[in-house]
A and B are shown apart, each in its own frame.
Chain A
């Protein structure tokens, strides 16, 4: 077969998604669809209380139901795993609740039956009795001396040196206190011409992938295979193997296409429970969560953020103090890493001499929280861009001019001290101004419909220190497979990776088969998260494809054939006398970085690359109802050179839409730790009719010099500026400042009534 196209032009082309046909015909492979012979369905019995000792657990009625195979409790789990706690940063999460429960919805027991309806019915017959403990739900209150304590003792998982000092600590909910100290903020505040201080709040929201979390394990006495909808096949294997006390090679993680992820399908979620259930029963075990259950598994943090800035009379920010409380819920998950890695950008993309950041990871009795499309950045941007806008207004400086004065230019040190490199922050701001026609007159509406506009800009450091490995396998007929553990959850990575491989091999993208993660076959990758794949895996794939190409050229030279970069069957026939053999190229990418110093939070090289995103919003506020119409939303990104322009644009658009939900409607409502809106009937994610009237996405001309073909990540970039741009636009329209998300019509209406000294009574 010949797949040669003579001259490679794969990168930079809007190749339609390789799996498009499967998706539009309903034939795409998801773990959701998988069934195995003899399989049992697991249904989880969950805690109904927020914080309590388990006095008794009676599963006898459930076990007696006709068709129930077995009910598994914490005691059964311990027969296989004596210390059944897991977690990427702290070993705080039990496979099943052991001794006590920490939040409503925590798994307490698992019912297994061949018929899922029987398992579900039986799970309702389990009776748990609890001795209630005092509970704490607010992230600031949880750090006060009188607060209920969620975990008796802190148990760092041992991977991170900045957590060692917390080992064995008792009587605290604070499980990471990241500090950044640059310059002398106290002196700067003492000498300041203007000081501004504001506090902001966000509430817990949920990722809501439409394919709910699902895992299916099958086992032999010495191996376990977990088919799972995970964004992190390699790391899930590391953690499950560690929990079982097995070498990694006895645990196999397989995945397929994911029906969305957004950060929910990371680390260990259902994988440990299905693995242990399969080992206990010697049967395949599948757990498919319902949409309601997903609210109890992983969420995005609620936050309190306090920002204080010292500003000169002519509008230069000289000092900024940031205090950020991250409500991590009952289990740390990856929250402490977010607290640090996003924490060090809490002062915003501004050139500020004196910076003081305290970023606190806090346990409470809510469901656990971790990264959701932006790893904390959209929350931080909401705070610092609202704060920035308020300062500009107070000083009567145009918000665009104020940002221009203070913007962090390439080459200048970020708060950590790392010089900015390949971050087109200024270009993003200028493009935003241009696309918003900022200098032109603006229709401000009239009567009860008032119009306003706002802008915001944010940035993010890529995750470090991480590794990606890729393998390119050329088969004897000249066809090619790419083995990589980057998981396509909708972001188009299969297509982008195939484009990068095809470019090096001088073949069409469509000729590359991307082998989905199977850790028995596919090599290590840290995970599909944090917009890291295009850069990290993209570089590894490029290296692997170049390695295969070089080996092929060497083979051609050895055989006396002309140098041909395109995979060809003739080479193999000549070498092996028949259609046989492989050429295997390997690429490993592990970019340099230096973790922030423990005491100062400073680093000379804190990240492999920066992402920059800005949003402009034009809104119309109905002053009689508080309803906000988004007339226009403009999203501008620095994403380096796009590998696939069409997919890049949909990533920008999708990121903005997701953050629009977090801005306008999404919020998990609680009464005493009980979630009251845990279904799509009550928890409102954006639909067609919630779209802005006009939405535009654009990217600036830039290049990430260390990226594959100049590219870098884009999956989160358009989320950064959405919330503050809208809040700033509402202020511009009606003169009220919303300092909390979400910006519901009720919140806006209450603010309008307060503005008129006629506050609405609390509901």
Chain B
């Protein structure tokens, strides 16, 4: 077997649980999440880190899973879109996306949802311009951008009232 493709086992935290996976050096994060864990929320589209469909949080920072070698996940804390809801309870961001109709085909939605979580962590009351700037690395071919801006604002309100109560 070609030594470049010999699999190795890595250990990391995935959505709050310690896990291990057998990966080859050329595998990216999206492939590992799909093939080893059946998680399809991060998905490859443009393959160049330009569309945001493959977004995964690694140690709290959003990365493009299609460009991020799986091997670099060794010891890291990974969070995917599948971890945002607790059981049946959707996150305020997920609820806001549904209530405002902020998606159509849904293929880009997990990436947007993760980025909005990160945005609202950093800036609980973003302006329209903040939102447009922060989400400019995510593409939605269905053009749900106006509704996504509304969803971010609604999610911000939801989080605010939740934190107040």
B85 — which chain A residues lie within 8 A by C-beta? 25
Would A691 and B146 be within 8 Å (CB), given that A32-B43, A117-B26, A685-B141 are in contact? yes
Residues of chain B in range 36-95 having any CB-CB distance to chain A below 8 Å: 39-43, 45-48, 50-51, 53, 80-82, 84-85, 90, 94
Please list 13 pairs of residues, one from A and one from B, whose beta carbons are closer than 8 Å in the complex, sorted by A's number: A20-B98, A26-B39, A210-B140, A211-B105, A212-B45, A490-B104, A490-B105, A655-B143, A681-B48, A685-B139, A686-B143, A687-B145, A688-B133
Tell me whether B48 and A21 are in contact (CB under 8 A): no
Known: A25-B41, A26-B80. A688 touches B101 (CB 8 A): no
- Given the interface pairs A209-B141, A210-B141, A490-B106, the reply to whether A24 lies near B43 with Cβ below 8 Å is no
Structural contact, B98 and A17, CB atoms closer than 8 A: yes
Interface residues of A in 268-304 (CB under 8 A from B): 290-292
The verdict on B125 contacting chain A, using a C-beta distance below 8 Å, is no
Within the complex, the shortest CB–CB distance from A279 to chain B, in Å, comes to 26
- Quick one: which of A22, A489, A491, A688 contacts B136, CB cutoff 8 A? A688
Q: Select the stretch in A258-266, A312-320, A422-430 that faces chain B.
A: A258-266
Q: Closest B-chain residue to A262, C-beta based?
A: B141
How large, as a class, is the contact surface on chain A? 35 or more
Cβ of B6 within 8 Å of any chain A Cβ, yes or no, is: no
- On chain A, the residues within 8 Å of B147 by CB distance are 650, 653
Are A24 and B104 CB-contacts (below 8 A) given A680-B48, A680-B139? no
Answer yes or no: A241 CB below 8 A from chain B CBs: no
CB neighbours of B144 from chain A (8 A): 650, 653-654
Q: Is A85 an interface residue (CB 8 A)?
A: no
Q: Are A680 and B51 in contact (CB under 8 A)?
A: yes
Please, how many angstroms separate the alpha-carbon atoms of A209 and B106 in the complex? 11
Q: Which B133-165 residues have a C-beta within 8 angstroms of A?
A: 133, 135-149
How far does the alpha carbon of A290 sit from the alpha carbon of B101 in the complex, in Å?
Answer: 28
Q: What separation, in Å, do the CA atoms of A14 and B101 have in the docked complex?
A: 10
Q: Are A33 and B105 in contact (CB under 8 A)?
A: no
Task: Determine which of A25, A290, A650, A685 lies in contact with B84 in the assembled complex, contact meaning CB atoms within 8 Å.
Answer: A25
Q: Are A689's CB and B136's CB within 8 A?
A: yes
Q: How far apart are A650's CB and chain B's nearest CB, in angstroms?
A: 5
Complex interface bits, A585-603 against B, C-beta within 8 A gives 1, otherwise 0: 0000000000000000000
Interface residues as binary, A647-689 with B (CB distance below 8 Å gives 1, 0 otherwise): 1011001111110100000000000000000011100011111
Interchain CB contact under 8 A, A291 and B90: no
Q: A17-B98, A680-B48, A688-B135 are in contact. Are A259 and B143 (CB under 8 A)?
A: no
- A419 within 8 Å of B (CB atoms): no
Q: A575 contacts the other chain (Cβ, under 8 Å)?
A: no
Q: Does A646 contact B (CB under 8 A)?
A: yes
**Do residues B105 and A489 form an inter-chain contact, with CB atoms below 8 A?**
yes
How distant is A668 from chain B, measured CB to nearest CB, in Å? 16
**B132 located at the interface, meaning its Cβ lies under 8 Å from any Cβ of chain A in the complex:** yes
CB distance from B100 to the nearest CB of A (A): 9
Tell whether, in the assembled complex, residue B143 and residue A657 are in contact, meaning their CB atoms are under 8 Å apart. yes
Residues from chain B with a CB closer than 8 A to the CB of A27 are: 40-41, 82
Give every chain A residue within 8 A of B106 (Cβ-Cβ): 19, 22-24, 28, 257, 259, 490
Chain A residues in 8 Å Cβ range of B29 = none
The complex places the Cα of A26 from the Cα of B45 at a distance, in Å, of: 14
Asked if residues A653 and B143 are in contact (CB atoms below 8 Å), the reply is: yes
Name A692's closest neighbour in chain B (CB-CB): B146
A16 lies within 8 A of chain B by Cβ: yes
B142 touches A654 (CB 8 A): yes
Cβ A26 vs Cβ B110 within 8 A: yes
Which A residue's beta carbon lies closest to that of B109? A23
CB-CB under 8 A from B142, the residues of chain A are 260, 490, 650, 654, 658
Residues of A within 8 A of B23 (CB): none
* Interchain CB contact (< 8 A) of A211 among B45, B47, B132, B146: B45
A30 contacts B by Cβ under 8 Å: yes
Q: Do A24 and B98 touch across chains, with their CB atoms under 8 A apart?
A: yes
How far apart sit A259 and B109, CA to CA, in the bound complex (Å)? 10
CB distance from A265 to the nearest CB of B (A): 11
Q: Are B90 and A208 in contact (CB under 8 A)?
A: no
Q: A25–B94 contact, CB under 8 A? A: yes
Q: Pick from B82, B107, B143 the residue with the most CB of A within 10 Å.
A: B143
B contact residues around A212 at 8 Å (CB): 45
B127 within 8 A of A: no
Q: Does A9 contact B (CB under 8 A)?
A: no
Q: Are A208 and B141 in contact, with the CB atoms below 8 A?
A: yes
Decide yes or no whether A710 CB sits under 8 A from chain B. Answer: no
Is there a chain A Cβ closer than 8 Å to B99's Cβ? yes
- Whether a CB of chain B sits under 8 angstroms from the CB of A153 is no
CA distance A681 to B67 in the complex (A): 14
CA distance A57 to B108 in the complex (A): 39
B98 partner residues in chain A, CB cutoff 8 A: 16-17, 20-21, 24
Residue of B nearest to A14 (CB): B101
B53: which A residues are within 8 A, CB to CB?
Answer: 210
Name the residue of chain A whose CB is nearest to the CB of B88: A21
User: From DSSP, what is the main secondary structure of chain A's interface residues?
Assistant: loop
- Give Cα A646 to B84, complex, Å: 26
Asked if B80 contacts A689 (CB within 8 A), the reply is no
B139 touches A210 (CB 8 A): yes
CA distance A86 to B110 in the complex (A): 37
Among B107, B113, B131, the one with the most A-chain Cβ atoms within 10 Å of its Cβ is B107
Across the two chains, which residue of chain A brings its CB closest to B99?
A16
Partner of A658, one of B132, B143, B146: B143
Q: Given known contacts A24-B97, A687-B136, is B110 in contact with A210 (CB within 8 Å)?
A: no
Cα–Cα, bound, A211→B44 (Å) = 8
Minimum C-beta distance from A437 to chain B (A): 21
Interface membership of A695, Cβ < 8 A: yes
Question: Nearest CB to that of A30 among chain B residues?
Answer: B107
Tell me if A12 counts as interface (CB < 8 A to partner B). Answer: no
Contact B133 A24 (CB under 8 A): no
* Closest residue on chain B to residue A697 by CB atoms: B146
Pick from A260, A290, A653, A688: contact of B107, CB below 8 A.
Answer: A260
Cα–Cα, bound, A686→B146 (Å): 12
Decide yes or no whether B34 CB sits under 8 A from chain A: yes
Given the contacts A25-B85, A653-B147, A688 and B131 also touching, CB distance less than 8 Å? yes
Interface residues in A22-55 by Cβ distance below 8 A to B read: 22-28, 30, 32-33
With the chains together, A691 CA to B144 CA distance in Å?
A: 10
B residues less than 8 Å from A658 (CB atoms): 141-143
CA distance A688 to B146 in the complex (A): 8
B149 CB contacts on chain A under 8 angstroms: 688
Which of B40, B135, B139, B146 is close to A26, meaning CB atoms less than 8 Å apart?
B40
Q: A17-B98, A30-B40, A654-B104 are in contact. List 18 more A-B contacts (CB 8 A).
A: A19-B106, A24-B103, A24-B109, A26-B39, A26-B80, A33-B34, A210-B105, A210-B107, A211-B45, A259-B105, A260-B107, A291-B45, A492-B104, A680-B48, A680-B139, A681-B48, A681-B50, A689-B132
Distance between Cα atoms of A686 and B145 in the complex (Å): 10
Q: How far is the CA of A685 from the CA of B139 in the complex (A)?
A: 8
Chain A residues, CB < 8 A from B81? 24-26
Interface pair A688/B138, CB less than 8 Å apart? yes
A660 neighbours in B (Cβ, 8 Å): 143
Q: A23, A492, A679, A681 — which one has the most chain B CB atoms within 10 A of its CB?
A: A23
Contacts of A208 in B (CB 8 A): 141
Q: Which residue in chain A gives the minimum CB-CB distance to B81?
A: A26
A261 to B105 Cα, complex, angstroms = 9
Assembly CA distance A695 to B144 (angstroms)? 12
A614 to chain B, nearest CB (A): 18
Nearest neighbor of B1 in chain A, beta-carbon distance: A66
Assuming the A-B contacts A27-B41, A689-B133, are A210 and B108 also in contact, with contact meaning beta carbons closer than 8 angstroms in the complex?
yes
Q: Which of A650, A680, A695 contacts B104 (CB 8 A)?
A: A650
Contact A687 B139 (CB under 8 A): yes
Nearest chain A CB to B164 CB, angstrom units: 24
What 7 A-B pairs have minimum CB-CB distances, sorted nearest first? A26-B41, A657-B143, A490-B105, A259-B107, A23-B106, A490-B104, A654-B143
Q: Give the CA-CA distance A243 to B113 in the complex, in Å.
A: 43
For residue A687, which residues in chain B have a CB less than 8 angstroms away from its CB?
Answer: 136-139, 145
- B84, B141, B145, B147, most chain A CB atoms within 10 A: B141
Task: Give complex CA distance A292, B44 in Å.
Answer: 12
